[in-house]
Structure 1
Amino acid sequence: MATQKSRVRLTAGRVADFGCPAGKSQAFLWDTETPTLALRATPTGRKTYVFESRLNGATIRINIGTAADWSLDAARSRASSLKMLVDGGTDPRELERQQQAEKEAKEAAAAKAAEQARQDAAAAALTVGEVWAVYLEARKAYWGEAHYRDHIKLARAGGKAIKRGTDGRGVTIAMPLHALMGLPLRSLDALTIEAWAAREAKTRPTSARLAWRLLKVFLNWCAEQPEYAPLLPSTNVAATRKTREALGKPKAKTDALLREQLPAWFAAVRNLANPAISTALQVMLLTGARPGEVLSMRWEDVNQQWRGLTIRDKVEGERVIPLTPYVQSLLSKLPRRNEWVFASTRTVKMDGKNMARRERRAHAKGESMALGEVVEASATGHITEPRSHHACACQTAGIDGLTLHGLRRSFKSLTEWLEIPAGVVAQIMGHKPSATAEKHYTVRPLDLLRIHHERIEAWMLEQAGVPFEMSAVSATLRAIA
């Protein structure tokens, strides 16, 4: 404290009249009634009540407040309470810091609780469909096109008006996963999924089993995401025994051509009016390739020089198999309509409903189009689903239950008659090696595969009674404008 202080009994008038003398940075007027209270004035005219005392040999000074905000009686009361703290050995400044810290901690806790409540409310409203969309976007780059389409298809809503494929309803039905899309993610539990599985298994067990497998992987992905994991139980609620039992086990498919059915099948398929579909079906049987692999072949995949056929493999990316003579002769007869070997020839007559959209596309390409013009209607440019044609051919041939994938199964089954090495057949079909020796030590070049593959083709044609001469193979592929 200062050695000499100006003390008076503070009154409202003296507080109002007190000011800082010229040339000084501040001035104090001490109260005689409360000795630890002073009025401080600065050259700017600001007047503040201050408390000053000594604690442990050191001077402490604390601002109480401005004279405009504090009455004199309130300032004296505050100074007295601070004096009591100092006399008790407590530093008011430290106490104030503690109180401020406690206040800030309470405010922070309240803010955290409010934010948690907001997040909980948002999480409670987060639906399976919303997270499903995020999941598809995150995983799309790691999936094949067909796998991605399965996720879209199986979660699709119904109610779309179409003319075909609705069994007379006129509108599509909701797919299996759609029933779960509107539920809150956190509401998914074992009981919900078990009830869903039991319901779906009654009408469409095959689709439901695929949907269930996709759902299990989706929930595993959610469990790995920090923002979704707290919404779900620690275990995968879709992987329960009751769900698995409700959906049942898929039965192994056994549809395949018998050797004695080959003449009737080839005769019916070769008589199909659409040469591209006729060729595609025969290529599926003679190569053992998956239907989608055959239908998505491009002309650049057909190597006439080295007699190779590049297959876009869904497992390994691609594989090259021999371009056998009969398959080569079939492909040489197809016109090049676009980049696809099995180009779509399906057309539709335009009407006013779709005209505006087609006109915009034509305008963007600098083309013109008249109302009623016949245009190509395929979205992909190539044949995608020749099931109906194959079904008609099988009906003509008197063959029941043979699917497109059954042609791939037929290739494998029929090779058993020739005792072709299993590894050769697996490599042509695109199956992964099943043994260490096959995987790491056996390398079969294209010319070695060709020996076996041409033998398979020749035998099938012989059994089918299909006349074919090697000289019939065209050296070039025909193109049309």
Structure 2
Amino acid sequence: MAVQKLTQSLVAKAICPPGQKREFITDTDTRGLVLEVRASGGRTFYFRYTDRSSAQRNMKLGDASVVTLDVARQRVAELHNEIALGRDPAATREAERRIPTLGEFVRDRYMPHIEGNKRSWKCDEVLLRLHILPVFGRRRIDAIPTADVLAFQHKLKAKGYAPGTCNRILVLLRYLFNLAAKWEVEGAGANPARKVDLFKLNNEKQTFLSKEQVAALLDVLATSPNKDLLAIVRFLLLTGARKQEALKAEWREFDLANRSWVIPLSKSGTARKVAISDPLVALLETLPSRGKSPYLFTNPATAKPYVDIWYGWSTARKRAGLAHVRIHDLRHSFASFLVNSGRGLYEVQRLLGHAHIKTTQRYAHLSDETLISAANTAGGFMPGAVAQPLVPS
């Protein structure tokens, strides 16, 4: 190992002695600065120092054909300052190399986790593949600032995505960073998505069918080529069940004697019990699958449950003049009918299977007639209030 003062000219002309693979030249002017000269002609600057455990460390600074001698000396001075402050620069660099990109974290940690623990993992996979990873996948998880997440959110909206869709993507991004911090992944710190507010949603825009609209819809469904569609919609209106809960329902889940239906795996991930009404019993007794198939509604083409009923449903709702009605609005309408009939929110909560009453309140629509009746009741406390119009003072 040679020891001499490095100059830019020496760095450019230095050669490795014959018969050696490499030669190290230690600079006499800058403590710890070393130039490696290889037999291949390559030259690299290193910082050589002793760490806290008295072990010699060699930290690569850069290719000498790119990094100048002055820059290398300046960098060595900075590293000496770090050591004086109690930090180990090589250990810091090694830790930084262990910090994964968001794409690596999703691939190696997140997807294996949710595939075994989350029923809707395929939805996450789609949102990640189409929206999040194309933007942030190649960036280290410690190099994604809040400003970039905010810009990402507004770009989604500018592309025409609904506020609810933008919120689902943002919530998933928040969840990724929260899990990274929980699992103590290298580089995971403050969540850059935490301070980005969700878009406000207009929860009043919900559709509740009137009795007349239900009758019109059922009349159209009676002529649908899908002979099961009418029964499926009636089932949804009589139970308030979610579409997939109905399509996957099996006869073994029903106890007609005790009037109960136990959904083995609801949206919450647990089983829930649904009370069976007299009209529902009557409907179940008419289903052609009874005693012939394990499923309530069996697709005759596959002998398995329907995967979806979109085409038949969409055709029927348009013919009934209800093109704006979604199939999930049948669940809304079930709750609305109950509330307008005087049933309490707690009862509706239990029938819908909501864990929190706040969720049920979104479905607790009251018809105009019900509200007017309530207002008239309040007016009854004032004698003559109905007969005497308001007169400006």
Query: Which TM class, normalised by the smaller chain length?
Result: 0.5 to 0.7
Matches within 5 A, 1:49-448: 105-107=53-55, 114=90, 116-123=92-99, 126-133=100-107, 134-143=109-118, 145-146=119-120, 148-156=121-129, 174-175=130-131, 178-202=134-158, 203-205=160-162, 206-228=164-186, 231-232=187-188, 234-240=189-195, 243-244=196-197, 248-252=199-203, 253-311=205-263, 312-315=265-268, 317-332=270-285, 333-335=287-289, 339-346=294-301, 376=302, 381-432=304-355, 434=357
8 Å CA contact 1:176–1:208 kept in 2: the answer is no
8 Å CA contact 1:155–1:175 kept in 2: the answer is yes
Deviations 1:226-253 (A, max 9, x none): 233xx24x4321122xx42xx6212214
8 Å CA contact 1:284–1:407 kept in 2: the answer is yes
- Stretch of structure 1 that moved more, 314-323 or 214-223: 314-323
Please tell me the residue identity of whatever aligns with 2:202. Answer: K
Are residues 391 and 153 of structure 1, via their aligned partners in 2, closer, same or farther at CA, if it must alter by over 3 Å? same
8 Å CA contact 2:295–2:305 kept in 1: the answer is yes
Instruction: Give the match's secondary structure for 2:208.
Output: coil
RMSD: 2.9
Deviations 1:257-310 (A, max 9, x none): 122212101112233222333322221111111222222212211223333222
Give, in whole Å, the separation in 1 of the partners of 2:174 and 2:256.
Answer: 45
8 Å CA contact 1:177–1:211 kept in 2: the answer is no
Give, in whole Å, the separation in 1 of the partners of 2:222 and 2:349.
Answer: 27
Identity of aligned residues (%): 19
Are residues 122 and 235 of structure 1, via their aligned partners in 2, closer, same or farther at CA, if it must alter by over 3 Å? closer
Are residues 322 and 275 of structure 1, via their aligned partners in 2, closer, same or farther at CA, if it must alter by over 3 Å? farther
Please tell me the residue identity of whatever aligns with 2:207. Answer: D
Kindly name which structure, 1 or 2, has the bigger radius of gyration based on alpha carbons: 1
8 Å CA contact 1:277–1:342 kept in 2: the answer is no
Give, in whole Å, the separation in 1 of the partners of 2:132 and 2:57.
Answer: 44
TM score, norm. by length of structure 1 = 0.51
Instruction: Give the match's secondary structure for 2:305.
Output: coil
8 Å CA contact 1:284–1:294 kept in 2: the answer is yes
8 Å CA contact 1:268–1:396 kept in 2: the answer is yes
- Stretch of structure 1 that moved more, 206-215 or 322-331: 322-331
Are residues 424 and 115 of structure 1, via their aligned partners in 2, closer, same or farther at CA, if it must alter by over 3 Å? same
TM score, norm. by length of structure 2 = 0.62
Higher helix share: 1
Give, in whole Å, the separation in 2 of the partners of 1:187 and 1:278.
Answer: 54
Deviations 1:130-186 (A, max 9, x none): 21231232345543x13x232112112xxxxxxxxxxxxxxxxx3455432333322
Give, in whole Å, the separation in 2 of the partners of 1:326 and 1:382.
Answer: 23
Give, in whole Å, the separation in 2 of the partners of 1:180 and 1:339.
Answer: 46
**Which structure 1 residue ranges, 4+ long, deviate > 4 Å from structure 2?**
108-116, 139-142
Give, in whole Å, the separation in 1 of the partners of 2:218 and 2:327.
Answer: 14
Deviations 1:206-231 (A, max 9, x none): 32210101111221111223233xx2
Give, in whole Å, the separation in 1 of the partners of 2:174 and 2:52.
Answer: 45
Give, in whole Å, the separation in 2 of the partners of 1:117 and 1:433.
Answer: 48
Report the Cα offset of residue 189 of structure 1: 1.1
Give, in whole Å, the separation in 1 of the partners of 2:247 and 2:240.
Answer: 13
Instruction: Give the match's secondary structure for 2:273.
Output: strand
Are residues 190 and 414 of structure 1, via their aligned partners in 2, closer, same or farther at CA, if it must alter by over 3 Å? same
1:465 alignment counterpart: none
8 Å CA contact 1:297–1:341 kept in 2: the answer is yes
1:355 alignment counterpart: none
Instruction: Give the match's secondary structure for 1:236.
Output: coil
Deviations 1:45-100 (A, max 9, x none): xxxxxxxxxxxxxxxxxxxxxxxxxxxxxxxxxxxxxxxxxxxxxxxxxxxxxxxx
Which structure is richer in relative contact order (CA contacts within 8 A, separation 6 or more)?
Answer: 1
1:38 alignment counterpart: none
